[in-house]
């Protein structure tokens, strides 16, 4: 099945190479445009589904609160709700799910077209014996018929030259050959990094003030770095795909912003307002939960009973002695009329001497 898909992509690449001037780079760029044209409707549909999900979040939240104790009933009501509003809860993931297979398919196609011939030593041995007359060295392209023009142009070659650079090697491999050799490759990497950063800036500018989870922030920061990493370790032909596809997505994001987020009555603005209202409601619920508990009051001191004993004092326990007030006189009134303590014997002797 995969081989059939690889042959389809290779056939399209051969068609552009044979009918459009410009060589391998132009053929890969046109192939990328075809792929983006096919995937753009799915991307726009997924984006609209994601915006509609955001706009209906307050109602979804109401269902979640209403059936929080019945998981099965909640799932049934949510599916009914999605069918009524014709939305797909996983539609927002379609753009990400599409990009990875396309990249993988194109990677294997390019690697198959530029694979080196096998058993070259055995071919030379059979030629020396007089059993064969030719030795096929260099590329032995896969997924193409032997009479295809792209196949004939790559057969036996060691480079996939286009625009003065070899598209079959990666920027990392070119850098190992010297900085001057790798300079065109590094410039392409810089273009990919800038376009990826600008695309993320478009998305962040459109969702300014909206709640962004930590995972989303992490993906927005790591996404451009991943593009740069894959472009650095992949053949330059894949780098051309990255440049064209990212440039296409930049224009795609501009179209989404103009068509879905222009005006206060647009679907995108309504979705942002709904998300803001839901965040405020959650904050209000959180503040109400925290502020609803009154601070614990201290219990008042137990008053003294008529026999000079407090309520907490056990029967037979002596009441606490009253402390002396200012001037050294005992405050007998505070002790409920009990006699003052007797003076120490030494103080009596001092009085007698005086």
Instruction: Give domain status of residue 17, yes or no.
Output: yes
**How many whole angstroms separate alpha carbon 173 and alpha carbon 259?**
43
| 182, part of any domain | yes
Q: Is residue 121 part of a domain?
A: no
Q: Is residue 339 part of a domain?
A: no
For residue 108 the two structure tokens come to 């294997």
Q: Is residue 316 part of a domain?
A: no
CB of 112 closer than 8 Å to CB of 141: yes
Please give the Cα distance from 231 to 214 (Å, whole number).
26
Six-digit token string for 109 = 């196609």
Q: Which residues pair with 139 in a beta bridge?
A: 116
Look at residue 50 in the predicted model and tell me its pLDDT.
Answer: 79
pLDDT at res. 343: 55
- Asked, for residue 315, whether it belongs to a domain, the answer is no
Q: What is the pLDDT of residue 306?
A: 47
Give a yes or no: residue 321 inside a domain.
no
pTM of the model: 0.69
Contact in structure between 112 and 121 (CB atoms under 8 Å):
no
**Assigned token pair, 273:** 């307002």
| pLDDT given at position 20 | 93
Range of the domain at 48: 2-116+135-284
Work out how many domains the chain is built from and give that number. Answer: 1
Identify whether 68 is part of a domain: yes
Q: How far apart are the first and last CA of the chain?
A: 123
Q: Quick one: pLDDT at residue 257?
A: 86
- Give residue 67's pLDDT: 86
Q: What is the model's pLDDT at position 34?
A: 92
In the numeric block, which tokens belong to residue 135? 């030795």
pLDDT at 189: 93
| pLDDT digit string (tens) for the chain, length 354 residues | 677 888 899 999 999 999 999 899 999 999 999 989 988 888 888 888 878 887 888 888 888 888 888 888 888 888 888 888 877 776 666 666 667 778 788 888 988 888 877 666 666 667 677 777 666 677 888 899 989 999 999 988 889 999 889 999 999 999 999 999 999 999 999 999 999 888 888 877 776 555 555 666 676 777 778 888 988 999 999 999 999 999 999 999 899 888 888 877 787 777 778 777 777 777 777 676 555 454 455 455 555 444 445 445 555 555 554 444 444 444 444 444 445 555 555 555 445 554
């Amino acid at each position: 099945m995969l081989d059939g898909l690889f042959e389809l992509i290779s056939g399209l690449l051969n068609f552009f190479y044979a009918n459009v001037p410009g060589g391998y780079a132009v053929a890969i760029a046109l192939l990328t445009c075809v792929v983006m044209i096919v995937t753009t409707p799915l991307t726009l549909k997924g984006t609209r589904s994601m915006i509609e999900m955001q706009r209906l979040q307050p109602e979804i939240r109401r269902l979640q609160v209403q059936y929080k104790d019945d998981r099965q009933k909640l799932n049934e009501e949510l599916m009914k709700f999605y069918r009524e509003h014709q939305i797909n809860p996983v539609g927002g993931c379609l753009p990400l799910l599409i990009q990875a297979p396309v990249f993988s398919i194109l990677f294997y196609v390019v690697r198959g077209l530029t694979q080196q011939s096998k058993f070259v030593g055995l071919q030379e041995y059979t030629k020396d014996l007089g059993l064969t007359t030719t030795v096929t060295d260099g590329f032995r392209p896969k997924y193409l018929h032997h009479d295809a023009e792209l196949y004939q142009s790559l057969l036996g070659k060691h480079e996939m030259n286009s625009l003065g650079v070899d598209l079959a090697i990666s920027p990392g491999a070119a850098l190992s050959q010297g900085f001057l050799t790798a300079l065109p490759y590094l410039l392409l990497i810089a273009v990919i990094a800038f376009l990826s950063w600008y695309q993320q800036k478009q998305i962040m500018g459109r969702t300014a003030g909206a709640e962004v989870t930590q995972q989303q922030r992490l993906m927005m920061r790591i996404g451009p770095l991943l593009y740069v990493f894959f472009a650095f370790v992949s053949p330059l032909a894949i780098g051309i795909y990255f440049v064209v596809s990212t440039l296409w997505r930049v224009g795609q994001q501009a179209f989404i912003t103009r068509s879905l987020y222009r005006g206060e009555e647009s679907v995108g603005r309504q979705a942002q307002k709904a998300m803001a209202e839901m965040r405020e409601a959650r904050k209000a619920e959180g503040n109400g939960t925290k502020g609803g508990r009154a601070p614990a009051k201290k219990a008042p001191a137990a008053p003294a009973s008529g026999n000079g004993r407090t309520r907490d004092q056990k029967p037979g326990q002596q009441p606490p002695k009253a402390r002396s007030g200012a001037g050294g006189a005992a405050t007998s009134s505070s002790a409920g009329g009990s006699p003052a303590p007797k003076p120490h014997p030494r103080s009596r002797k001092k009085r007698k001497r005086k």
